Amino acid sequence: MTRKATGMPRDLHQGEVAERVALLNSRYKHHGATAVLEHALKDADLGRVALVSSFGAESVVLLHLVSVVAPETPVLFVDTRMLFPETLEYQRQVAEMLHLCDIRTIRASQPRVSFEDPDGTLHQFSTDACCNVRKVEPLERALSTFDGWITGRKRYQGTSRAAVEFFEAEGDYRIKVNPLAHWGKEDIQDYMINNKLPRHPLVAKGYPSIGCAPCTSPVKPGEDERAGRWRGTAKTECGIHFINGKAVRGPVTTENAA
């Protein structure tokens, strides 16, 4: 029985994840997104892997690739209960169109939200705390039975993602896979056009990066694509992504990028 069939994550020792990540990046540095994705989904040595998708502005590209390579892949969708209605409708549309077999909607427990954010205003006072209770904690629970997860992060998306590799170590316990790390904006657009994939309706309204409704605003021409996320603050990430094994909820600094 393979590791994937057991339903349990692998038991990894300290340093093992980093070593495997270094080997994987060396092995696949000249490969394309499909080869990296196929390896992540079909190599039993990598363990159990899920795709985490926001069903945001560019998510449909990676979702389509997964639907072609392995449509039975678990897809984790975090519903913070603060998403745009357009995102929820788009999620339903894309899931049906691509015939994805195992989409799991992840939410925070209502008692936890009621305790931490009883009147729904936590995001006005602490965006980190709001993201933590509504997104980070629920996703961590959902990922606890997986050895790795696939993301749609790309280098061109901003300074905090400029050094993203195909494979990343998430502490000493999981591997993160970024098949589209080296794709450019034009690659994304060409793929969507060539495969006739539907666009998130908010993209046409000036939202190139889409998160929760209270914390996402349109982006002006010339601005960074993620400038509309938590506008007016130093925050650039929700906290689910790690750099060198550490959660980064703000801009990458010399200390956390080292």
* Amino acid symbol at 24: L
Helix axes 59-69 and 33-42, enclosed angle (nearest 10): 60
Cβ atoms 244, 255 nearer than 8 A:
no
What residues are labeled active site?
A: 238
- Quick one: which of 188, 119, 128 has its CA closest to 155? 188
Q: How would you write the pLDDT of the chain (258 residues) with one tens digit per residue?
A: 333 444 546 555 546 888 888 888 888 888 999 988 998 888 776 789 999 999 999 999 999 999 999 999 999 999 999 999 999 999 999 999 999 989 999 999 999 999 999 999 999 999 999 999 999 999 999 999 999 999 988 876 655 566 788 888 887 788 989 999 888 889 999 999 999 999 999 999 999 999 999 999 999 998 888 889 999 887 877 766 544 434 443 333 333 333
pTM assigned to the model = 0.83
pLDDT at 161 (0 to 100): 60
The pLDDT assigned to 165 comes to 87
What domains are there in the chain, each with its CATH number?
A: 12-257 (3.40.50.620)
CB crowding 119-139: b at 16 or more within 10 Å, else e = eeebbeeebbebbbbbbbbbb
